[in-house]
Structure 1
Amino acid sequence: MNQTIIHPTATVDPRAQIGEHTRIWHWTQIREDVRIGSESIIGKGCYFDAGVSVGNRVKIQSNVSVFRGVSIEDGVFVGPHVCFTNDKTPRAINPDGTLKGIDDWTVTPTLVRYGASIGANATIVCGVTIGRFAMVAAGAVVTRNVPDYGLVMGNPARLVGYVCPCGVRLPGGPVTTGEERTCPACGRVTLVGSNT
């Protein structure tokens, strides 16, 4: 591939920045001040709220919602129908009954670190950091930070173990101090538990 591809049905605000060799597919909306890096793939029907940041070589599958305040680093995988939230106390109206406006709430930021993967239909509640090469299982509801290489699943998501950067689950369960684990597939040794 030698060019950026934006499908004719996608809506990309002229103030958004799209990197080279990135592909944006059908019915996706990218709002003002969004930054998407190079060599990324954005699936069908995604929504990117104003000011969202997406790195290089990111794969975002169909029907993902990425709301204001979310930052996604390089090499992240986001499965279909994932939803990132950005408001800890959502309301449509103020206590006096007036409709909430842009100045009536506070964005709570979320960070997805390098190489992390988020499974289909996961919900990422705002204010968390998902660590480097962490893996969020399909359908999980993430309400707290996920450590580097951490494998979380469930509602609310719980740490059940660790994964290798190649994606294979490492032997053993969660630990609270640093411990080396060897991948049964690729043989890589990974230090886990040092930032749990």
Structure 2
Amino acid sequence: MSEYFCHPSAIVDDGAQIGSDSRIWHWVHICASAVIGQKCSLGQNVFIGDRVHIGNNVKIQNNVSVYEGVTLEDDVFCGPSMVFTNVYNPRSAVERKSEYRPTLVKQGATLGANCTIVCGVTIGRYAFIGAGSVINKPVQDYALMVGVPARQIGWMSEFGERLNLPVSGRGQARCEHTGSVYTLKDNVVRKES
């Protein structure tokens, strides 16, 4: 059995897999077929549904529910009270468990406090979703998204700093903190060094 911290108030169903050095805080519930990587932190009142896959070093802040159909890759940050969905058109009286739409959040992405991720989208590597934003379409790697519905207003470095690049076109920028160079070409950003 792996070694991780679990607060006594948390419920971890039999069968759940949790990696070493992870921390499970107050009133968390992890369902039986969830898989959670190493060095993760699940804040107070987090729910992890069945068949959820969470990578290594993922931080999930207080009051977040990660429902079936959601995959979080390594180094993802989920801000306080942000929301995932898994059914596009829910009705209380209509059973739609067979219609779950998968959501993929790729490595290093940040999902700001109180944002909503509508099911069926992919959020690119190191994308940054601003607090309170609503994501209802796929998000590119390194994109900075804000608003309801969200629109792209810029690009972010892997360090989490805004890059001095236009939203579209061409350009090159250096992250002030790391010195890494990012190139924008054909509306796609790539890290060069």
Tell me if 1:128 matches 2:121: yes
2:148 corresponds in structure 1 to: 155
Alignment correspondent of 2:22: 22
Using the size of structure 2 for normalisation, the TM-score is: 0.91
Structure with the larger strand share = 2
2:52 touches 2:66 (CA, 8 Å); kept in 1? Answer: yes
Is 1:58 matched up with 2:52? Answer: no
Indicate the larger mover: 183-192 or 74-83: 183-192
Structure 1 stretches of at least 4 aligned residues deviating more than 3 Å after TM superposition: none
Partner of 1:182: 174
Instruction: Name which of 115, 132, 141 aligns with 2:134.
Output: 141
Task: Name the SS for the 2:50 alignment partner.
Answer: coil
2:163 maps to which residue? Answer: 170
Asked whether the 8 Å contact 1:6–1:24 carries over to 2, the reply is yes
The alpha carbon displacement at 1:185 in A equals: 3.3
SS in 2 for 1:45: coil
Distance (Å, rounded) in 1 between the aligned partners of 2:96 and 2:166: 45
1:109 matched to 2:109: no
Q: Which residue is 1:194 aligned to?
A: 188
Distance in 2 (alpha carbons) for counterparts of 1:45 and 1:85: 17
SS of 2:182 mapped into structure 1 = strand
| Structure 1 unmatched runs, 5+ | 95-99
Q: Conserved in 1, the CA contact under 8 Å of 2:61 and 2:80?
A: yes
Question: Any idea what SS the aligned residue of 1:190 has?
Answer: strand
Say which SS state the counterpart of residue 162 (structure 1) adopts: strand
Q: Could you say which residue in structure 1 is the equivalent of 2:89? A: 89
| Identity rate, percent | 43
| 2:35 corresponds to 1:35 | yes
Q: Which amino acid aligns with 1:48?
A: I
Instruction: Measure, in 2, the Cα distance between the counterparts of 1:125 and 1:68.
Output: 13
Q: Which AA in structure 2 matches 1:183?
A: C
Partner AA of 2:180 in structure 1: R
Aligned residues: 186
Which letter maps to 1:108? R
Aligned counterparts of 2:115 and 2:96: Cα–Cα separation in 1: 28
Work out whether residues 116 and 132 of structure 1, in 8 Å CA contact, stay in contact via their aligned partners in 2. yes
Q: Where does residue 49 of structure 1 map in the other structure?
A: 49
Q: CA RMSD in A?
A: 1.7
Q: How far off is 1:15 after superposition?
A: 1.2
Q: With the length of structure 1 as denominator, give the TM-score of the two structures.
A: 0.90
Contact in 2 for aligned 1:114/1:133 (Cα 8 Å): yes
The Cα shift of 1:182 comes to: 1.7
Residue 101 of structure 1: how far off its partner (Å): 6.8
Contact 2:73 2:106 in 1 (8 A): yes
Q: CA deviation at 1:89?
A: 1.3
Q: Residue 180 of structure 1: CA displacement?
A: 3.2
Q: Structure 2: give runs of 5+ residues left out of the alignment.
A: none
Q: Which amino acid aligns with 2:82?
A: V
In the alignment, residue 110 of structure 1 is paired with which amino acid?
Answer: T
Question: In 1, are the aligned partners of 2:3 and 2:19 still within 8 Å (CA)?
Answer: no
